[in-house]
């Protein structure tokens, strides 16, 4: 058949033209990507994404896949019962994530990774044993995480990420820093139950406990609505489950407690009684709720020793403590970035203002170099610096 095609001048010209197009691609990654997108000489197919919509079929090449991953090698070399071309089904993998994986395997390309698909791509990379793609996805998440997407990132991390505690902690630290504003946002009512519990468990969450309670009650009411349940006290407690006991009700003042969880019936009468006794009686009953205040983390640097007017000073006389004020939230939840810097006098047990930072920021790194304190990095409401 090839000889017959070669004897036809028009066929020869078509083959030559196609060969010239392939030969014109000088970069190996580009040639590999063309090989993937064209499907030429493919000998295996993957049908993916049935759980997420229409099935999408990808054509690929056994040799390339087997050389990229031991998982692919085992899968392909022990799946020869299918007719040629071999078809392997992955209904639980989103097609966009699998496309990202193939692009990386063939050309090291990460160009189509986005905030929406990075977590399923990370899950896919872990499933097929591609550690370099796992690292690339983690780097992407770290660079693009901000206050506007941290809740979605946290939900995705709980859903997709196999073992990355680092990613979860980065998401939670971002929530910590903007706790009041994030809890007041509309997005908070849509997070998953596991994400809700993680946030409420944090002792470093920068939020007033009344704001915490209001956000949790709103989350429970919306969840009841999504499940077609009446938002009765019993149903609210049911959808909250263990998350209810992560709200620190003893931190609410008596008025907030009365007009909030007591009036709505979210707390049982025995729980209300024990909370009031715990707040006011000498003999305090044990509570199922934590009573310690949440403490927002701040940037702190302690300086001791050194030269003063050419003479070494003692540690006791020279201890100074500097604190960079963090982000403030007003009553409406509006975020104010502060550049104010304070110095602590241990003898007077008081703070005083010193030269402020040039730029207001949160969570900056600090260091003492050559007698000067440097603030490096940090972030504003939207991005890292």
Contacts of 23 (CB under 8 A, 6+ apart): none
Contacts of 248 (CB under 8 A, 6+ apart): 209, 212, 289, 290, 291, 292, 293, 294
Per residue in 277-300, pLDDT (tens digit) is 999 999 999 999 999 988 765 555
Q: Judge whether residue 17 has pLDDT over 50.
A: no
pLDDT at 9: 46
Determine contact, residues 196/243, Cβ cutoff 8 Å.
yes
Per residue in 36-51, pLDDT (tens digit) is 888 888 888 999 987 7
Angle at 286 between CA 285 and CA 288, to 5 degrees: 135
pLDDT at 223: 97
Residue 203 host element (H or E): none
Mean pLDDT within 189-218: 94
At residue 371 the predicted structure's pLDDT band, cuts being 50, 70 and 90, is: low
The mean pLDDT value of the chain amounts to 79
6 or 146, which is more confident? 146
Neighbours of 202 (CB within 10 A): 16
Least confident of 139-148, 214-223, 326-335: 326-335
- What is the Cα–Cα distance from 125 to 97, expressed in whole angstroms? 9
Q: Judge whether residue 195 has pLDDT over 90.
A: yes
Least confident of 16-20, 30-34, 252-256, 356-360: 16-20
Q: E strands of 2-156, at which residues? A: 44-48, 56-60, 86-90
Mean pLDDT within 216-231: 96
CA-closest candidate to residue 326, choices 352, 351, 345, 300: 300
| Total number of residues shown for the chain | 385
Residue 349 in tokens? 């047990």
Burial class (CB in 10 A: 0-12, 13-18, 19+), 83: exposed
Q: Judge whether residue 344 has pLDDT over 70.
A: no
One DSSP character per residue, 327-371 reads -EE-TT--EE----EEEEETTTTEEEEEPPPSS--BS-EEEEETT
Per residue in 81-110, pLDDT (tens digit) is 554 457 888 888 899 999 999 999 999 888
pLDDT at 12: 41
CA-closest candidate to residue 278, choices 254, 246, 295, 294: 254
Longest Cα pair distance anywhere in the chain, in angstroms?
Answer: 104
**Considering the chain, what percentage of its residues have pLDDT values greater than 90?**
37
27 or 66, which is more confident? 66
Q: E strands of the chain, at which residues? A: 44-48, 56-60, 86-90, 299-303, 307-308, 311-312, 320-324, 328-329, 335-336, 341-345, 350-354, 365-369, 372-376
Least confident of 62-76, 139-153, 280-294, 347-361: 347-361
Cα torsion at 140, 145, 151, 155 (round to 10°)? Answer: 20
Least confident of 199-203, 285-289, 367-371, 381-385: 381-385
Provide the pairing of β-strand 372-376 with 86-90.
unpaired
pLDDT at 174: 86
pLDDT at 144: 86
């Amino acid at each position: 058949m090839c000889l017959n095609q070669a004897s036809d001048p028009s066929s020869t010209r078509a083959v030559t033209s196609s060969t010239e197009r392939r030969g014109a691609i000088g970069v190996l990654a580009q040639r590999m990507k063309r090989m993937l997108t064209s499907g030429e000489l493919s000998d295996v197919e993957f049908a993916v994404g049935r759980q997420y919509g229409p099935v999408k079929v990808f054509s690929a090449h056994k040799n390339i896949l087997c050389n990229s991953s031991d998982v692919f090698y085992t899968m392909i070399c022990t799946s020869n019962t299918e007719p040629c071309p071999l078809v392997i089904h992955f209904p639980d993998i989103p097609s966009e994530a699998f496309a990202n994986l193939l692009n990386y395997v063939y050309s090291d390309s990460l160009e189509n990774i986005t905030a929406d698909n990075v977590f399923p791509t990370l899950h896919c990379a872990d499933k097929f044993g591609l550690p370099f793609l796992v690292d690339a996805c983690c780097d992407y998440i770290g660079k693009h995480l901000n206050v506007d997407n941290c809740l979605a990132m946290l939900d995705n991390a709980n859903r997709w990420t196999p073992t990355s505690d680092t990613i979860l902690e980065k998401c939670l630290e971002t929530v910590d820093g903007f706790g009041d504003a994030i809890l007041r946002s509309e997005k908070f009512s849509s997070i998953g139950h596991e994400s809700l519990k993680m946030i409420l468990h944090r002792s470093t969450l920068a939020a007033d406990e009344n704001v915490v309670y209001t956000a949790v009650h709103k989350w429970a009411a919306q969840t009841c609505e999504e499940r077609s349940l009446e938002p009765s006290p019993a149903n609210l407690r049911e959808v909250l489950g263990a998350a209810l006991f992560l709200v620190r009700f003893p931190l609410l003042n008596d008025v907030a407690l009365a007009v909030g969880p007591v009036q709505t019936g979210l707390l049982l009468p025995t729980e209300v009684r024990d909370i009031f006794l715990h707040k006011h009686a000498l003999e305090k009953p044990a509570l199922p709720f934590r009573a310690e205040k949440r403490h927002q983390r701040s940037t702190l640097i302690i300086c001791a020793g050194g030269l003063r007017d050419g003479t070494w000073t003692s540690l006791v006389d020279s201890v100074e403590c500097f604190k960079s004020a963090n982000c403030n939230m007003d009553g409406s939840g509006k975020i104010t970035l502060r550049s104010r810097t304070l110095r602590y006098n241990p003898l007077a047990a008081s703070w005083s203002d010193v030269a402020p930072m040039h730029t207001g920021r949160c969570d900056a790194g600090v260091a003492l170099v050559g007698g000067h304190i440097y603030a490096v990095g940090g972030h504003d409401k939207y991005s890292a610096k």
